[in-house]
Chains A and B, each alone.
Chain A
Amino acid sequence: MPHDHHDHMSPSGHPYRPDDDHPLTYWQQMEIAVRELLIEKGVTTAQEISAQIDAMDARNPAQGAAVVARAWTDPAFRADLLQDASAATREMGFDIGPMRLIALENTADEHNVVVCTLCSCYPRNLLGLPPDWYKSRAYRSRTVKEPRKVLAEFGVTLPDTTTVRVHDSTADMRYVVIPARPAGTEGWSADALAALVTRDSMIGTGLPKSPDTA
């Protein structure tokens, strides 16, 4: 039924989303003008812009998941990662640029969560662009004051005995959380473990998937 527009649900059971074909906005008009001027002035080229978009699109949470899984299975790498996460992830072949990356390890007693109260600083060169909620007023305002309440909204309820550490990012320091390895995954390969690592578990607003559901 390719032309049946009467249903509000797609065949997958999700609501249809509106097409992205709104009238040209003032800011889109400015983006086109700025881009063309930069190309004409020789600052950049259309090819360079496309390549930069492709490079950014290629960065995604799977990169971070591979880092976490390796830290869980390779003690020497884990030590390197905690010492200098920029160098350790670069050594794995990820193009993390000049970004200073700091890895924060969750343990049985300590849970780390990352925010940027001033703007939207995020380990984008490893995990890709941040989710919309990360840039919201609510997340930026509340996480440093009532982290447990914020975490509960994400479905993460921690025992009172767990210390919660909140890390406020800056343009020069980006954090990635290394979640605790789930119990019941002894002997798993790094690839199998990586499938348990979610984006939110590397921000600290989530936990890895349970091995039972993977």
Chain B
Amino acid sequence: MDITNIMLSGVGGQGILTSGRVLALAALDAGLDVKMSEVHGMSQRGGNVDAHVRIGREVPSSLIPKGGAHFLVSFEKMEALRYLDFLRPDGVAFVARHEIAPLSPSLKEGAGYVAGVDVALARKAPSLVWVDAFGIAQALGDLRMVNVVLLGALSNRIGELAPENWEAALRDRFSAKVREACLEAFRKGAAHGRAA
């Protein structure tokens, strides 16, 4: 079974599930089967969030096994590290240059962020693409576009999906008010991904 596995990770509220939905809509537009798995509930209160997206001609199950992801798209550096072992030996990690500190229970115990996370990611990832998603989104004047920029950066590598499939998905998912801004953010992300 020829299935492309894309793992999305980040922190609650970053738009991870929305991104997964766009990816799934693009697959549907391309006439492919798709399954996505997500966890709701407790995870919304500042916890880490993931979405498993699997696309192919026939996709029987919805969870990506560890060691089975072709791509990891992470909205946050530490959350990229946490999910890094989902990547295949030939997998690629797209990571936003962004840090969100976890809650530290006591001032004396320190901030609790992984020291040297950049180095750890570079050393451990089979292949690593840094995405300046926040910089690009900021330049576009809307930090909510981070998720679309990341999808753009990923888009060049998903051979099954043509630019028009992505555009149809973005038009489907986003309201008229932000639609053009999303398409622009996506194109900026795609250009960034090609240059990387």
The answer to whether A and B interact is no
Which residues of B approach A to under 8 Å, CB–CB? none
Q: Which residues of A contact B (CB under 8 A)?
A: none
